[in-house]
Every structure is written in C-alpha cells, then in structure tokens.
Amino acid sequence: MGTQKDLSKTSATQAAQVVWAHWQSGQVMQNLPEECRPLTTEQGYKVQAQLPSVSGRSVVGWKIAATSADGQSHIHVSGPLAGRLLSGQVFESGATVPSAGNRMRVAEPEFAFAMGHDLPPQNTSYTVEEVMAAVATLHPAIEIPDSRLAPFTEAGEAQLLADNACARHFVLGAAAPDAWRALDLSTDTVQARVDHGTSLQFTREGTGGNVLGDPRIALTWLANQLSALGITLQKGQVVTTGTCMVPLALKPGDTVSADYGLLGHVQMTFSPDKPVPVQA
C-alpha cells in the first residue's frame, strides 16, 4: 500500500469486500491483504464506511466497543471504537440469535439509545446535554459481537475498525419508562444470568459506570466521533454504548437474561448446535 497517508476508495472497498466475504463464509484471517490493509484509525473507518454498500445492508445504528480500560487493554487499542449496526443483524428481545460461526461466543448487556433527532457534523463538540436532548428512548440491550480477525486481540485498532469494531448481532429490548431521564445511569445496576435449559450456569452484575463512566458520556463520545468523520447520527438510529459488565461466556443453547430494574428486561437465546445428520 505504500505510505500510511494513502488508502484509495478502491483499496478501501477491496478491504471491505474481503471482510464481508469472510463474514459470509465464516472463515477468519490473521490480517487483511497488505495492498488494502488499513494502517491508521482514519483508514480503518474508511474501510468500514464501505461495508454497507459492499454488503447491501443499511445502517440501522451504531455500537461502541472498548468502553472500559480493561476492554481497551484486552484488544490493545487506545480508546473506544465505533461500528455500524447493519440491517438483518438486529433482533427483538426473546429472539434466538445464530451461534453458527461465532468464535467469541459472548453476550454483552448494554444501555442503548434510540435517536429522536439528527445530530449532524459540526465544528464544535456536542455536549452531553445537547446529545441527550436528541434522544427519544432508552432500551435494555444485548450485543453478541464477533470478529473475522484471528486472533482479534492482536489485530490492531485499524483492522478492528475495518472489521466493523467486532459488530455482529444485537438484541434490542423494549423502551424504558420515561422516568429513566431522572436516573443516574452511572450507578444503575444490571443483573444478568445465563441458563442452559433449566440449569443456571452463572450470574453477573454490572453498572452503567463501567461504560466510559456513564452511558450518556459514551453516547456523546459516539456523536462527536461521527461528527469528526463527517457523519450524521440520524433520527431513528440506535446506539448501543458498550458492555456494562465483563462479557458473558456463551455455549450454543444458552439463554441470557439481563434485568435493568426500573428500566426493563432483555433476553435472548444463543441458537443450539445443529445435530449432525446420521449417515444411512
């Protein structure tokens, strides 16, 4: 590719095509091809921006990865990463989410916001107050991430962004009561449990404070990151703000439930492995 300054739209599209082909086949790669490999954060976002057209999917929202110091250390990145939620990958609470091809096998309970107004790019940073004024509703949510890079912990920030910040499937719960606006989300507690059939596997607890200190702060970071990239955070889009606890390890057939107290509840089942056909 030459220098870090140059990544043509053609190369960015080629990289996005490679990423999407691996998603479709279930295969993994250690690195993108050298001739189209992004080397900087800016280049990683440039590749990611080609994923909707390459995949034929629309952008229905955004996710934020690495919203805790532990998460950033785990994947060796310097800060949060934004990724696109694509159509066909979002489910309602209670859904069975595909497990086939998913190598991470974790669920992440998250606070998600649905936007009621556009936040277009601007020269000054958005404040938390400005961003929250554009929010329509708050939702309990679960993200089921994955990556086509192996090992994804060593792929680096630019390639992780090209791989859509590990976005795969997403479960959106019902809107919380409007009283959420008066709550301190940084101290709001989420209780999660993983069951397999009638057998409890384990429970875990988290708080909104694990998401950049407060999910509102994470959402504001996302709005300003998109603004810097020249992208409008659009009315109707959903932003899921990052896991509020250590990710929940899953096996096929597990059911995840996350109780947000006054804010509601969200649940999903990780689809069972398909039985191997018996040879005649």
Domain containing residue 96: CATH number: 3.90.850.10
25 in a structural domain: no
Return the pLDDT at 70: 85
Model pLDDT for residues 68-118, shown as the tens digit of each residue: 888 888 888 989 999 999 999 999 999 999 999 999 999 999 999 999 999
Residue 10 lies in a domain: no
Q: Which domain holds residue 87?
A: 57-270
How long, in residues, is the chain? 280
Please indicate, yes or no, if residue 49 is contained in any of the structural domains: no
Q: Residue 280: its pLDDT value, please?
A: 47
Structural domain contains residue 39: no
**Residue environment code for 167-200, b if the CB has 16+ CB neighbours within 10 A, otherwise e:** bbbbbbbebbeeebeebebbebebbbbbbeeeee
Amino acid 250: pLDDT:
98
Rounded Cα distance between 8 and 1, Å, is 9
- Which of the residues in the chain have pLDDT under 50? 1-3, 280
pLDDT of res. 3: 44
Q: What is the pLDDT of residue 2?
A: 41
For residue 159, give the amino acid letter. Q
Q: Which pLDDT score, from 0 to 100, does residue 22 have? A: 96
Rounded-to-integer distance, Cα 215 and Cα 135, Å: 12
**Gap between the Cα atoms of 261 and 208, Å rounded:** 13
Domain count along the chain? 1
Does some domain include residue 211? yes
